[in-house]
Chain A
């Protein structure tokens, strides 16, 4: 092979250079998070003199990060599970059940959602959420406002991906189930769902990351301090502590660490899941 003889060291040099430039800011921030404000200004490039966690304790206590992280986890997980359940049910109905015309109409109707950017709808959406009552309680300023809206805006892409997968499942598997006496619901839970697991995992990750990182809606719908999610809480902290770099660095690191930890273990699935969403023009 001719190719194997061509030198590659300069390509590695280039890529390594790029990776260092790309990731160095995170390292710098990490080092800063153990320093005092004065040290950050005076000894920017030096390693921290000691690993003192004062900044972390201060950030954790004043920024309320634990509470925000819990709120984010709750909203994200519930929204993702609901999205997955609803989207899988709908995809099953329109991909596997025998109602040709309605199936096609519903599919195309749902795909319209991929065209309209939610960004253009903030004002009517805000008014709507303010006006809705759920079981006699206002929806505004509750986690459910976020959960329902996140779920709605994740549905088109989720249906799009799961539908394509379910359409490709061969009929024979279903027929075997029918012979065993399964009805539509049984087929859905016992045959189709287990086979569709890879697609379900992909969209779960895709939705998880976008809900976890969502900022604007959470800022519009949630006003109570104790209900804020991580991105909004961080932004509030940022506004209040703009000059306290030591605490700010620690807060940013605290909010990044769990994400990076998960990424280290699930990078292949995360990359696959997130890029699967790229059809969302």
Chain B
């Protein structure tokens, strides 16, 4: 939520600075009721936020501090005790090399897939912005359509396109002379997943960027054309800098999504043995919780992952923030 608000707030505070000071003064003289009103309006949100956000997070953190310990054979009612162990679950996750190989995998995935997807989304948005009105609707819908397919269904769909013997792609590649292309091999499977994600989310990201393009005042383009700028120049020199904040937004979403990669690899596990039970950090958490029946360890993985996501997405924002928003506020 906060990441979403950032660009808006920054823009607003500059323009509305003076006005808000005045308003604040006049409010001070208001009745008791006006002070209660904002609280009343916020209550439904705060309650839901607490129940569905703070409470589960708090419970996960609480769970991550416990460990179920067995003694002897572990048989019988008194052989198992759950006790407080402080941060020891965290230290065992952090010393687990399968956690780091999973993390390394999604980071590598993100470094390659996120820029590729965003580049594609930006190019598509720019093309759409300059296309004729009738085709615009058609393309906007067709680019966005894959996002309407649930992730699990998309993964099932693609798994059929990857499976040798069933896939038309594999057989076409073979008949053209590429030999037996294995989309589900130990090294290729990660990029096959990247392809699914790109297919799914490019249209969605394109739409955000496209919305950014729509917000640019037409007068800027007219002025540029009068100055003799070509369409390409308009795209590169005017549109691109002005939609930079939209691109940053989509990048943050994509980084978060990448670190939480789960359903696509989980679905593809049914067709290939090359996706291990700790392929991504989220898959590791799932394995700990629902296969190994160790919810405490799973909670620790989830908390570490959440912290990592937080640091990475805010770190990214910090790096690009100055550039992104100084351009916007020109």
Is this pair of chains taken from one and the same complex?
no
Which chain A residues have a beta carbon within 8 Å of chain B's beta carbons?
Answer: none
